[in-house]
């Protein structure tokens, strides 16, 4: 690392915000279409608990699609280098692992139970799967300190307490 740049650990997550305050019971009982919502994707610094980057999308946008733009945005900032990224199973895919590998960032991403080691296109993900199989999931969680992901949940809780879970805007 450069002496000027501070290494930071990021926690990435996403949460939904409803866009209507209609009668939930009636809507659930009689209107069968899925309820629309807006998704807030955040990258939080584990130490300061500040939001370093965020994206707002429609509810059907997958979490892992916004990981790359947020990580690159933070990496471009002059004062920071990212040393570790925590994420949930939504980020368990080849694109996320290859991005982190290219940027020399350690991933702490929970893997699916049925994760296969056969993929040759993503050596970093394969190495993580083999490490989990060697140590066992509980020891891997201790080694990687997976419990830090709660920090993102605290940030979402704070946002929703201040702003509420409902948005009043009618347009995206």
Q: In 3-state terms, what secondary structure has residue 152?
A: helix
Q: Per 3-state DSSP, what percentage of the chain is helix, strand, and coil (rounded to 5)?
A: 40, 25, 35
The confidence score (pLDDT) of residue 1 equals 43
In angstroms, rounded to a whole number, what is the distance separating the alpha carbons of residues 136 and 146? 14
In angstroms, rounded to a whole number, what is the distance separating the alpha carbons of residues 143 and 38? 35
In angstroms, rounded to a whole number, what is the distance separating the alpha carbons of residues 84 and 172? 33
Q: What does each C-alpha distance from 88 to 7, 117, 172 come to in angstroms?
A: 21, 19, 26
Q: Output the tens digit of pLDDT for each of the chain's 172 residues.
A: 445 577 899 999 999 887 766 666 666 676 666 667 889 999 999 999 999 999 999 888 888 899 999 999 998 887 788 999 999 989 888 899 999 999 999 999 988 888 887 877 888 888 888 898 899 888 988 898 888 888 888 998 888 888 877 777 666 6
Residue 43 and residue 11 in contact, taking contact as beta carbons nearer than 8 Å: yes
The confidence score (pLDDT) of residue 165 equals 75
The confidence score (pLDDT) of residue 2 equals 47
Global pTM value: 0.83
The confidence score (pLDDT) of residue 105 equals 92
The confidence score (pLDDT) of residue 38 equals 85
What value, to the nearest 5°, has the Cα angle with vertex 10 and ends 113 and 42?
A: 85
């Amino acid at each position: 690392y450069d002496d000027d740049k501070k290494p930071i650990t990021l926690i990435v997550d996403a949460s939904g915000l409803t866009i209507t305050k209609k009668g939930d019971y009636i809507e659930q009982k009689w209107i069968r279409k899925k309820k629309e919502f807006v998704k807030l994707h955040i990258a939080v610094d584990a130490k300061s608990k500040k939001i370093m980057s965020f994206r707002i999308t429609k509810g059907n946008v997958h979490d892992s699609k916004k990981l790359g733009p947020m990580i690159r945005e933070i990496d471009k900032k002059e004062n920071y280098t990212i040393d570790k990224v925590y994420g949930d199973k939504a980020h368990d895919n080849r694109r996320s692992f290859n991005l982190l590998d290219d940027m020399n960032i350690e991933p702490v991403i929970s893997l699916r139970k049925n994760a296969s080691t056969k993929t040759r296109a993503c050596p970093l993900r394969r190495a993580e799967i083999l490490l989990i199989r060697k140590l066992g999931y509980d020891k891997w969680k201790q080694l990687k300190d997976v419990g830090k992901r709660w920090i993102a949940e605290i940030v979402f809780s704070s946002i929703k307490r201040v702003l509420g879970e409902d948005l009043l805007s009618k347009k995206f």
